[in-house]
Amino acid sequence: MKRFRHALWATLGVALFLSMNLLLTFAPAYSTGVTTPAPHSQIPTFSSLKQILELAFEPGTPEFNTLVEADRLFVEGNTQAAEELYRQVKGQFSQPRGDQAIAQAITDPEQLSGAGRVYWREAQAGFEQKLETRIFVPLQQLVEKHPEFIPGHVLLVQALQQYGRGDEALAVLERATTLYPNEPELIKAEISALQTEEKWLESSIAARQFAVLYPEHPQAAEFGAIADDDLGRYRSGIRRRLIGQTIVTGALSIGDLLLTGNVAGTIPAIQLTMLLMQGEAAFGNQLAEVFQQRLPMVEDETIVNYVNEVGQKMANLMGRDEFEYEFFVVKDKNLNAFALPGGKVFVNTGALQKINSEAELAGLLGHEVAHAVLSHGYQRVVQSALLSNLNRVVPMGDLIAALVGRAYSRQNERQADVLGSRVLANTNYAADGLRNLMQTFTELDGGGGGVLNWLSSHPASSDRLRDLEELIQRNGYNRYAFEGVERHAQIQSRVEELFPEEEAGNAVEVLLAGA
C-alpha cells in the first residue's frame, strides 16, 4: 500500500511538472493588466463629507487647547491632573452602562436563584440519564435567565455536540464568549467544539485571542500553544488541498491547450496557489509589493514615520512575532484602511485627515493589525482560491477587493474590535480611541453602511459603537489617557499641504477597477 501511494504521488508530481512546463511554454505571457485610471472628472468626490463632519478636536478651540495641556501633564507623569482635564472635554458615553450591565461570571451553583438551581439539577440528571427532553429545556432556561453561570453554557454545548448539533453549539459559544471573553472554560469549550468540526483556523484564532487579550493569565501560554498547534494543522490541510488543486488545474489546462490552444486564464490560478502555499508572511510580502507598485504611495518621511511609529506600538503587543509588520500611507482621499496577510497595513491620507487624534489612529491601526494577527484576510483568500477551482480562474480582482473592501464577517469584525481595543488599553493611549473613531463613522454614515469604504460589508457602525462602549465599561479600560492631539494636528496640516483633497483621488477604487 505504501509503495502504491509513493507511486501515485510520483505520477502526480510528473503530471504537475509537465503541465507547468507546457503552460509556461505555450501560454502567452501573463499581464496583470492595470487599466488606465479614469479621468479625474469621472471619479466621484466626497468633499461634502468635510462639511458634514464637525471635528471634536478642532485646533484653536478651547477643547483642543485643554486636551493639549492634558497630554502634556500625562507625559510628565501627572496623570491625576491630566485625567481631570480629559474628563472636562470627553464627558460620558452617549449610552452609559446601567441596568443592562453584564453580571459577573459565577461557577458555583449555590450562587444561582432557587429556580436556577432547580434547572441545573434537572439538566445534570437528564444528561446523566441521556434523556434529551430533560436536558435541553432546563438548560436553555438556565442560560437565558443566568447567562453568568459558566457551567450552564459548557454543559449545553456538550449536550448539543452529543446529539449532533454542532452548529448550534458554536452559536451558543459565540454568544457566551462575547459576554465573557475572559473565562478560560468557555474558550476551551469553544476550541474543543471547533476542533471537533475540524475548523482548525477558527480554533487557533479563539485560542490566540485569549492568549493575546490576557497575557498575564496563568493559562495564556497554554492557549498560545494550542493556537500554534491548530494553525499548523490548518496550514498542513490547506497545503494538501492547494497541491491537489494545482495538480487538477494543471491537468485541466493541458486539456484546454490541446482543445483550444488557450490556457492563459489558468496561469493566475497556479501562480496564486503557489504563493499561498508559502504561508501568510510570504504571501503578504508579495501582495504588498504589488500594491506599492500600483497605488500612489506617500513617500514623505514625516507622515510615514508617524503612522509607522504608532502602528509598531500596537503590533508589538499582538503576539505574532513571525510577521514583519509594515505600515504604508496611500494618497487617497477616502476614509479607508486595510490589512494584508502577514501584517502589512495600508492607511489612506483621507483617514489621517478625518481621524481626530493619535489615540484614534492607534485604535484604527490596532483593529487592522488584529485582522492580520487573527489570519482573517489569509483565511478569505485561501477560501476564495479553493472555491475558484470551480471556474479554473482565480478572480484576482475579487481577492483584492475582499482584502481592500474589508468584506469580513460580523464575527471577524467583533474579534478585531475586541482585540484592537484590548491592546490599545495596554498602551498609554486613551482606551476609547477606536470607539471615538467609530463615533466619527456613525456621524458620517448615519449609523448604517453609508458611503464609507471602511464600513462596507461591516456591521452597522452604531452597533459597533454600542458594543465598544460596553466593552470599555465592562473591563474598566482607561479612557482618560494620552490623546496626542497636537502632533496629529500637525500631521494633518502636512497632509493637507502636500495632498489637497481635490488632488488626492480615489486610488484604491481605480486599482480595483483595473485588478
Q: Which of 359, 472, 376, 470 lies closest to 415, judged by CA?
A: 376
C-alpha dihedral, 176 to 405 to 286 to 313, nearest 10° = -60
Least confident of 72-86, 104-118, 127-141, 380-394: 380-394
The answer, yes or no, to whether residue 7 has pLDDT greater than 60, is no
Residue 92: what pLDDT? 78
Domain extent for 418: 280-514
- Annotate 417-447 with DSSP letters as a single string: HHHHHHHHHTSSB-TTHHHHHHHHHHHHHTT
How many Å apart are CA 68 and CA 486, to the nearest integer? 6
How many Å apart are CA 131 and CA 206, to the nearest integer? 31
Q: What is the largest CA-CA distance in the chain?
A: 80
The answer, yes or no, to whether residue 184 has pLDDT greater than 50, is yes
Q: How do 344-348 and 326-330 pair as beta strands?
A: parallel
Residue 404: what pLDDT? 54
Which amino acid, one-letter code, is at 161?
A: Q
Least confident of 204-213, 389-398, 422-431, 442-451: 389-398
Phi, psi of 172 (to 5 degrees): -60, -45
Q: Is residue 427 part of a domain?
A: yes
> Nearest 5°: CA angle at 41, between 37 and 47?
105
Q: Is residue 46 part of a domain?
A: no
How many Å apart are CA 169 and CA 186, to the nearest integer? 12
- Annotate 237-298 with DSSP letters as a single string: HHHHHHHHHHHHHHHHHHHHHHHHS--GGGHHHHHHHHHHTT-HHHHHHHHHHHHHHHS-B-
Give the pLDDT band (50/70/90) at residue 130. confident
Q: Is residue 286 part of a domain?
A: yes
Residue 206: what pLDDT? 83
Give the pLDDT band (50/70/90) at residue 248. low
Average pLDDT, the chain: 75
Q: Which three cell numbers stand for residue 248?
A: 487538477
- Provide mean pLDDT across the span 18-23: 35
The alpha carbons of the chain give a radius of gyration, in whole angstroms, of 26
Residue whose C-alpha cell reads 514623505 in the numeric block:
300
Q: Is residue 381 part of a domain?
A: yes
Q: Is residue 475 part of a domain?
A: yes
Least confident of 45-49, 258-262, 392-396, 505-509: 45-49
What's 448's DSSP letter? Answer: S
Count of alpha carbons within 13 Å of 133, Cβ hemisphere only? Answer: 0
Count of the separate structural domains present in the chain = 1
Least confident of 11-25, 254-268, 288-302, 356-370: 11-25
Least confident of 156-170, 377-391, 456-470: 377-391
- Provide mean pLDDT across the span 157-178: 85
Residue 279, Ramachandran bin (φ over 0: left; ψ between -120 and 50: alpha; else beta): left
Give the pLDDT band (50/70/90) at residue 281. confident
- How far separated are the first and last CA of the chain, in Å rounded? 46
Give the pLDDT band (50/70/90) at residue 214. confident
| Cβ atoms of 380 and 408 closer than 8 Å | yes
Which amino acid, one-letter code, is at 392?
A: R
pLDDT tens by residue, 402-419: 555 445 677 788 888 888
Residue 92, Ramachandran bin (φ over 0: left; ψ between -120 and 50: alpha; else beta): beta
Which amino acid, one-letter code, is at 176?
A: A
Residue whose C-alpha cell reads 469549550 in the numeric block:
189
Q: Which is higher by pLDDT, 458 or 373?
A: 373
Q: Which three cell numbers stand for residue 108?
A: 458555583
Residue 361: what pLDDT? 96
Residue 277: what pLDDT? 62
Count of alpha carbons within 13 Å of 208, Cβ hemisphere only? Answer: 26
Q: Is residue 253 part of a domain?
A: no
How many Å apart are CA 435 and CA 332, to the nearest integer? 23
Residue 9: what pLDDT? 43
Count of alpha carbons within 13 Å of 74, Cβ hemisphere only? Answer: 23
Q: Is residue 502 part of a domain?
A: yes
Q: Is residue 500 part of a domain?
A: yes
Q: Which three cell numbers stand for residue 247?
A: 495538480
- Provide mean pLDDT across the span 254-275: 50
